[in-house]
Structure 1
Amino acid sequence: MDQELHVFVTVVEKANFSHAAEVLHITQPAVSRYIKNLESKMNAKLLERNNKMVQMTKAGEIVYHHAKEILSLYEKMNVLVADLMSQPSGKLSIGASYTFGEYILPHIIATIRAEFPQINPSIMIGNTREIVHQVASRHIDVGIIEGKMTDEHVAMERFSVDSLVVVVSAGHPLAQKEVVSFSDLEDETWIVREQGSGTREATEQMFADHRFTPGSVMEFGSTQIIKESVEAGLGVSFLSTWTIRKELALGTLKVLDLPGFPVQRQFTLVTQDTEFQTKAMEVFLRVLKQG
Structure 2
Amino acid sequence: MDQALEVFVTVVEKGNFTRAAEELLMTQPAVSQYIRALERSLGTRLLDRSNKYVRLNKAGEIVYHHAKEILGLYTRMNALVDDVMHRASGDLSIGSSYTFGEYLLPRMIASLRQQYPLIRPTITIGNTAEVAEMILRHEADVGIVEGDYQDERLHIEAFAEDEMVVVVPRGQRYDPWSEIPLAELQTETWILREQGSGTREATERMFAASGFHPRHVVEFGSTQLIKESVEAGLGVTLLSRFVVRKELQLGTLHMLKPNGRPVIRRFSLISQKTPYHTKAVEVFLELLRSRQGMF
Residue 138 (structure 1) aligned with residue 138 (structure 2) = yes
Q: Cα offset for 1:175? A: 2.0
Q: Single out whichever of 116-125 and 248-257 deviates more from structure 2.
A: 248-257
Greater Cα offset, 93-102 or 279-288: 279-288
* Alpha-carbon displacement from aligned partner over 1:160-198 (angstroms, at most 9, x marks no partner): 000000010111211223542222111100011000000
Report whether the alignment pairs 1:231 with 2:225: no
1:201-247 CA deviation, whole Å, 9 max, x = no partner?
A: 11001000010000101100011000000011111000001101000
- CA distance in 1 between partners of 2:104 and 2:257 (Å): 25
Q: Of the two, which has the highest radius of gyration?
A: 2
Match of 1:112?
A: 112
* RMSD of aligned Cα (Å): 1.6
Q: Which deviates further from its counterpart, 90-99 or 271-280?
A: 271-280
CA distance in 2, matches of 1:163, 1:218: 23
Residue 215 of structure 1 is matched in structure 2 by: 215
Which residue number corresponds to residue 39 of structure 1?
A: none
Distance in 2 (alpha carbons) for counterparts of 1:155 and 1:287: 18
Which position in structure 2 is the counterpart of 1:276? 276
CA distance in 1, matches of 2:177, 2:209: 23
Contact residue 92 and residue 281 of structure 1 kept, 8 A: yes
Q: Secondary structure at the match of 1:152?
A: coil
Give aligned pairs, total: 209
Q: What is aligned with 2:153?
A: 153
Query: Which residue pairs with 2:175 in the alignment?
Result: 175
Runs of 4+ in 1 over 3 A off after TM superposition: 83-86
Question: Could you tell me whether the CA contact under 8 Å between 1:175 and 1:256 is conserved in 2?
Answer: no
SS at match of 1:261: coil
Cα deviation code 1:76-103 (max 9, x no counterpart):
xxxxxxx977530000000001101100
The answer to whether the 8 A contact 2:181-2:260 is kept is: no
Q: Identity of paired residues, percent? A: 53
Query: Given the superposition, is the C-alpha separation of residues 192 and 275 from structure 1 closer, same or farther in structure 2, using an over 3 Å criterion?
Result: same
Distance 1:127 1:178 in 2: 29
Q: How does 1:1-291 map to 2 (within 5 A)?
A: 86=82, 87-177=87-177, 179-291=179-291
**DSSP 3-state at the match of 1:138:** coil
Q: Whole-Å Cα distance in 2 between the matches of residues 260 and 288 of structure 1? A: 31
The unaligned stretches of length 5 or more in structure 2 are 1-77
Do the aligned partners of residues 207 and 144 (structure 1) sit closer, same or farther apart at CA in structure 2, a change above 3 Å counting?
same
- Aligned CA distance change for structure 1 residues 176 and 92 (closer, same or farther; 3 Å): same
In 1: Cα distance, 2:156 partner to 2:182 partner: 34
Structure 1 residue 286: Cα displacement: 1.2
Aligned partners of 2:179 and 2:257 also within 8 Å = yes
Which range moved further: 92-101 or 152-161? 152-161
Aligned equivalent of 1:29: none
TM-score (structure 1 length as normaliser): 0.69
Question: What amino acid maps onto 2:108 in structure 1?
Answer: I
- Structure 1's unaligned 5+ residue stretches are 1-82
C-alpha displacement at 1:147, in angstroms? 2.9
Secondary structure at the residue paired with 2:246? helix
Using a 3 Å threshold, how does the CA distance of structure 1 residues 194 and 84 change in structure 2: closer, same or farther? farther
Alpha-carbon spacing, 1:179–1:133, altered in 2? closer, same or farther (3 Å): closer
Q: For residues 174 and 153 of structure 1, do their structure 2 counterparts lie closer, same or farther at Cα, with a shift above 3 Å needed?
A: same
SS in 2 for 1:177: coil
Deviations 1:116-154 (A, max 9, x none): 111000001011111111111211100000033322221
* Distance in 2 between residues matched to 1:181 and 1:150, nearest whole Å: 31
TM-score (normalizing by structure 2): 0.68
- Classify 1:159/1:257 alpha carbon distance in 2 versus 1 (closer, same or farther; 3 Å): closer
d(CA) in 2 for partners of 1:177, 1:101: 30
Distance 2:260 2:158 in 1: 23
Tell me the alpha carbon deviations over residues 242-274 of structure 1, each in whole angstroms, 9 at most, x when there is no partner.
Answer: 101000110111112433421111111101111
Q: Supply the AA of the counterpart residue of 2:228.
A: E
1-side partners of 2:116 and 2:218: how far apart?
43
